[in-house]
């Protein structure tokens, strides 16, 4: 069976308040026998993707895996061009947030 897993990551910069942190949602494809196994594999994937680097300003940035937001089974029998992997219903405020660009 195939699943999608929504993984949440957080940037951690020394002396920066949590309210200023940048977050990333990453949706990954997981092959597993059931949802429980998919969650275990998704968590492992998230932990393996943690990393640290020096930003252009010279400050260290560490991206940490925070949690699995959701896991969904892919109902399609075959994965091919145009196969829907994930969908969700959104409120008006959700859409506004998605369409609002980041300020640099």
Q: Which two tokens stand for residue 72?
A: 């969904």
In the chain, which residues have pLDDT < 50?
none
What are the distances in angstroms from CA 75 to CA 16, 35, 59?
A: 42, 13, 44
| Contact (Cβ atoms closer than 8 angstroms) between residue 25 and residue 86 | no
Domain residue ranges of the chain, discontinuous segments joined by +: 2-77+85-99
Helix (H, G, I), strand (E, B) or coil at 10: strand
| Residue 104: per-residue pLDDT | 61
| Residue 30: per-residue pLDDT | 97
d(CA 34, CA 99): 34
| Closest by CA position to 52, among listed 79, 100, 12 | 12
| Residue 71: per-residue pLDDT | 97
- pTM of the full predicted structure? 0.85
């Amino acid at each position: 069976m195939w699943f999608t897993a929504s993984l949440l990551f957080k940037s951690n910069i020394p002396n920066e308040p949590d309210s200023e942190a940048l977050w990333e949602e990453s949706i990954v494809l997981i092959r597993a026998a059931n949802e429980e196994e998919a969650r275990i594999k998704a968590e492992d994937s998230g932990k393996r993707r943690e990393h640290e680097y020096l930003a252009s300003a010279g400050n260290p940035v560490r991206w940490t895996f925070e949690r699995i937001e959701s896991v969904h089974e892919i109902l399609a029998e075959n994965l091919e061009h145009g196969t829907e992997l994930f969908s969700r219903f959104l409120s008006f405020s959700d859409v506004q947030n998605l369409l609002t660009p980041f300020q640099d």
